[in-house]
């Protein structure tokens, strides 16, 4: 780790994240299902302790939703986080969560992530060390949005991107990363237990196989 500050244990982080309020009326079109406290804690602890990409880092959280990843990243020592979401209701919930957690180093931006990949539209290019995201999977009505989130994450970050994707799209994602000239690696395979929050999920719980993927820019001069 870059500094010797003691990092909170994963279980402890997970326990704190249980208190993050989730989407009140989740919107199907925006794929509003929250990352569970368990998965969020596993992801963030790995980003922090295996790769040293959180402590003292500036972070962008694309599709911030109710803020579980931003809050967890802050608890593990991120210096600053910008959370971006298209949905004002989600941002309101996120804002309440940040107040409840007494976090003052996260800013929220209402924006369509798809507009952030173009440097001409956006002054935020390369302003963040690390991007974290649980993007819409983009396999239903909004095909391709997962790739647009990744493009924006790469455009805004200087060092690396951590993202969740359906395992069924793995080859496609890795091929895209290779086309973009970034290194990509599946660092964990997860089962995403989608609770019955979205109308198209008929069962009470639906297990989806998900890859936790790390993408790294090749030219930032840091060694990993």
Ligand X SMILES: C[S@@+](CC[C@H](N)C(=O)[O-])C[C@H]1O[C@@H](n2cnc3c(N)ncnc32)[C@H](O)[C@@H]1O
Report yes or no: 10 and 67 within 8 Å, Cβ to Cβ: no
Angle, to 10 degrees, between the axis of helix 10-17 and the axis of helix 37-49? 140
Q: Binders of ligand X among 93-132, rule CB under 6 A?
A: 112-114
User: Please, what is the minimum distance in Å from the beta carbon of residue 114 to ligand X?
Assistant: 5
Q: Which is nearer to ligand X, 32 or 74 (CB)?
A: 32
Give the other-Cβ count within 10 Å of 141's Cβ: 10
Pairing of strands 58-62, 80-85: parallel
User: Please, what is the minimum distance in Å from the beta carbon of residue 115 to ligand X?
Assistant: 8
Q: Which is nearer to ligand X, 144 or 181 (CB)?
A: 144
Binding range to ligand X, per CB under 6 A, among 9-17, 32-40, 199-207, 210-218: 32-40
CA distances 117 to 141, 161, 185, Å, are 21, 14, 22
CA 55 to chain centre: 16
Pairing of strands 128-133, 80-85: unpaired
Indicate the burial class of 173 (C-beta count within 10 angstroms; 0-12, 13-18, 19 or more): buried
User: Please, what is the minimum distance in Å from the beta carbon of residue 197 to ligand X?
Assistant: 10
Could you tell me if residue 210 is left (phi over 0), alpha (psi between -120 and 50 degrees) or otherwise beta? beta
Q: Binders of ligand X among 60-79, rule CB under 6 A?
A: 63-66, 68-69
User: Please, what is the minimum distance in Å from the beta carbon of residue 162 to ligand X?
Assistant: 11
C-alpha to C-alpha distance for 158 and 18, rounded to whole angstroms:
31
CA 141 to chain centre: 21
Binding range to ligand X, per CB under 6 A, among 1-9, 29-37, 73-81, 166-174: 29-37
Q: Which of 8, 13, 17, 31 binds ligand X (CB under 6 A)?
A: 31
86 in contact with ligand X (CB under 6 A): yes
Q: Which of 32, 74, 93, 130 binds ligand X (CB under 6 A)?
A: 32
90 in contact with ligand X (CB under 6 A): yes
Q: Which of 14, 53, 87, 211 binds ligand X (CB under 6 A)?
A: 87
Q: Which of 14, 57, 76, 85 binds ligand X (CB under 6 A)?
A: 85
Q: Which residues bind ligand X (CB under 6 A)?
A: 30-35, 63-66, 68-69, 84-87, 90, 112-114, 134, 136
């Amino acid at each position: 780790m870059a500094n010797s500050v003691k990092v909170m244990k994963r279980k402890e982080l997970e326990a704190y994240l249980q208190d993050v309020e989730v989407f009140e009326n989740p919107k199907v079109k925006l794929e509003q299902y929250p990352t569970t406290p368990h998965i969020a804690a596993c992801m963030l602890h790995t980003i922090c302790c295996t790769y040293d990409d959180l402590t003292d880092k500036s972070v962008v959280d694309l599709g911030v939703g109710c803020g579980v990843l931003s809050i967890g990243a802050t608890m593990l020592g991120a210096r600053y986080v910008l959370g971006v979401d298209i949905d004002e209701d989600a941002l309101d919930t996120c804002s309440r969560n940040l107040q409840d957690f007494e976090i003052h180093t996260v800013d929220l931006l209402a924006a369509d992530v798809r507009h952030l990949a173009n440097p001409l539209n956006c002054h935020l290019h390369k302003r963040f060390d690390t991007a974290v995201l649980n993007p819409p999977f983009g396999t239903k009505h909004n095909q391709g949005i997962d790739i647009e989130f990744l493009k924006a994450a790469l455009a805004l970050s200087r060092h690396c991107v951590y993202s969740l994707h359906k395992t069924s799209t793995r080859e496609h994602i890795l091929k895209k990363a290779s086309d973009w000239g970034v290194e990509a690696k599946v660092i964990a395979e997860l089962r995403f237990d989608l609770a019955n929050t979205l109308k198209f999920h008929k069962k009470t719980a639906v297990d989806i196989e998900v890859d936790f993927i790390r993408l790294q820019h090749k030219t930032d001069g840091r060694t990993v």
